[in-house]
């Protein structure tokens, strides 16, 4: 790394109530840390901004520990090795890892995964070939278990996970219906991503729309949002339906979670609701990446990214996510390769 380089970082300064405002963050600068033996220093190029970040900001134990006050905010990214003391990594290698919201990350080499920047754009490794893609793939196929001819509904459908869920559902011979906010997103789902139909939760009435777009009811519901959308789909389940609980972004900034008051539909419809954490599938990521990479090469699966430049925009860019203003995977560009 060049002499005198500084590492700009965003640290958690206060835990939010509701939407995470600017007062939650402290921007700090320090020299990039030299790698010790077995470590590598990475120049961060792009960072993934995800709904799950809101959960990590709460002081509540979850599938990962909360981010501590004063710690660099957790984030997954892609970057390039600038200095390596790890035998498998060399300067110039492209890698992905848990870098955090900062310009440079010094991490054990074993915590970095090499990526092939010639095979796909870097952002793809934060989207279809990254955690969102893996989430869509394993959540839909392993938990939802869609069968050909079934109807798959996904909420947050214009987001990184949702758009991939809908496309995989189509590839598996299902009817794919997406729920998203606003006519532009809905149009994109049908025209760009090949969904059979879309429902605009901001403008359509959910129950009549679900009746119209899902005439055979809903066999698989992949839920990213919770709240009233979850309740509406519960009212339209088919017998033996599977609900995949992936997230509840409509509730993350509420002071108290709203539970699905229609959950007794699970009994009436002999249905189930199941949660999963994508990291449990880590030893199968390569298998999924091979299959999805193949679909991408054939033009049957595509990603969409919303790339915002400038690490200094992080607090505002993150809010785009919770306001539903992004279209496709929201990515913070920290530097170009």
Task: Please answer whether residues 28 and 6 qualify as being in contact, where contact means their C-beta atoms are separated by less than 8 angstroms.
Answer: no
**Contact with its own copies (CB under 8 A) among 207, 268, 286, 297:** 268
Which residue of 277, 309, 319, 335 would you call a contact of its own copies, by CB under 8 A?
Answer: 277
> Among 271, 289, 321, 334, which residue interacts with its own copies (rule: CB under 8 A)?
271
CA angle 231-232-236, nearest 5°? 115
Closest C-alpha among 166, 161, 142, 145 to residue 280: 142
Site residues for its own copies, 88-117, by CB under 8 A, read none
- φ/ψ of 242, rounded to 5, equals -120, 125
Give, as ranges, the residues between 4 and 63 that touch its own copies (CB under 8 A): 62-63
Report if residue 65 touches its own copies, rule: CB under 8 A.
no
Q: Please select the residue that binds its own copies; options are 151, 269, 288, 329, rule is CB under 8 A.
A: 269
Write b or e for each residue in 295-319: b if 16 or more Cβ atoms lie within 10 A of its Cβ, otherwise e: bbeeeebbbbbbbbeebeebbebbb
**100, 156, 260, 324: which one contacts its own copies (CB under 8 A)?**
260
Minimum distance, C-beta of residue 275 to its own copies, in the bound complex (Å):
3
Q: By CB under 8 A, which span of 11-19, 22-30, 89-97, 275-283 interacts with its own copies?
A: 275-283
Q: Using the rule CB under 8 A, which residue among 24, 246, 318, 331 binds its own copies?
A: 246
- CB of 281 or CB of 295, closer to its own copies: 281
- Residue 138 in contact with residue 198, Cβ under 8 Å? no
* Contacts with 144 (C-beta within 8 Å, 6 or more apart), sequence order: 152, 220, 222, 242, 244
Residue range at the interface with its own copies (CB under 8 A); choices 17-25, 96-104, 182-190, 270-278: 270-278
Kindly tell me which residue out of 67, 131, 265, 321 binds its own copies, with binding defined by CB under 8 A: 265
Q: Is 256 in the site for its own copies (CB under 8 A)?
A: yes
CA distances in angstroms from 119 to 125, 129, 289, listed in the order given: 10, 11, 12
Nearer to its own copies, 5 or 264 (CB): 264
| φ/ψ of residue 256, rounded to 5 | -135, 140
Rounded least distance, CB 98 to its own copies, Å: 19
Q: State how far the alpha carbon of 331 is from the alpha carbons of 152, 160, 172, 304, 305, in Å.
A: 27, 10, 28, 11, 7
281: contact with its own copies by CB under 8 A? no
Which of 13, 190, 266, 309 is the binder for its own copies (CB under 8 A)?
Answer: 266
Is residue 114 within 8 Å of 93, Cβ to Cβ?
yes
Interface residue with its own copies, options 123, 248, 288, 318 (CB under 8 A): 248
Among the listed residues 276, 291, 300, 315, the single contact to its own copies using CB under 8 A: 276
Nearer to its own copies, 113 or 262 (CB): 262
Residue 157: phi and psi, rounded to 5, are -70, -20
User: Are the C-beta atoms of residues 30 and 6 closer than 8 Å to each other?
Assistant: yes
Q: Work out whether strand 151-155 and strand 218-223 pair parallel, antiparallel, or are unpaired.
A: parallel
Q: Please tell me the number of Cα atoms within 13 Å of 158 on its side-chain side.
A: 25
Instruction: Note the residues at the interface with its own copies (CB under 8 A).
Output: 62-63, 226, 231, 245-248, 256-277, 280
């Amino acid at each position: 790394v060049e002499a005198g380089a500084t590492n700009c970082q965003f640290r958690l300064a206060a835990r939010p109530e509701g939407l995470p405002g600017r007062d939650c963050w402290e921007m700090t600068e320090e020299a990039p840390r030299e790698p010790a033996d077995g470590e590598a220093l990475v120049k961060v190029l792009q960072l993934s901004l995800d709904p799950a970040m809101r959960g990590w900001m709460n002081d509540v134990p979850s599938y990962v520990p909360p981010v501590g006050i004063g710690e660099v905010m957790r984030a997954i990214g892609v970057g390039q090795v600038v200095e390596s003391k790890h035998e498998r990594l060399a300067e110039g290698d492209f890698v992905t890892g848990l870098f955090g919201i900062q310009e440079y990350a010094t991490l054990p080499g074993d915590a970095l995964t090499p990526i092939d920047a010639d095979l796909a754009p870097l952002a793809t490794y934060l989207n279809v070939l990254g955690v969102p893609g893996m989430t869509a793939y394993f959540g839909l196929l392993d938990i939802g278990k869609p069968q050909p001819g079934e109807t798959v509904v996904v909420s947050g459908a214009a987001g990184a996970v949702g758009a991939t869920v809908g496309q995989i559902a189509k590839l598996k011979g299902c009817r794919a219906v997406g729920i998203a906010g606003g006519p532009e997103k809905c149009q994109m789902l049908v025209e760009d991503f090949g969904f059979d139909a879309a429902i605009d939760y901001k403008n359509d009435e959910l129950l009549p729309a679900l009746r119209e777009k899902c005439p055979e009811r809903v066999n698989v519901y992949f839920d990213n949002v919770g709240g009233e959308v979850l309740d509406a789909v519960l009212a339209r389940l088919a017998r033996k339906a599977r609900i995949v609980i992936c997230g509840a972004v409509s509730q993350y900034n509420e002071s108290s979670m709203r539970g699905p008051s229609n959950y007794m539909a699970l009994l009436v419809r002999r249905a189930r609701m199941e949660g999963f954490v994508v990291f449990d599938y880590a030893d199968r990521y390569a298998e999924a990446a091979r299959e999805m990479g193949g679909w991408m090469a054939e033009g049957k699966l595509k990603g969409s990214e919303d790339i915002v430049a400038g690490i200094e925009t992080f607090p505002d860019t993150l809010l785009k996510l919770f306001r539903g203003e992004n279209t496709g995977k929201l990515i913070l560009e920290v530097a170009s390769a």
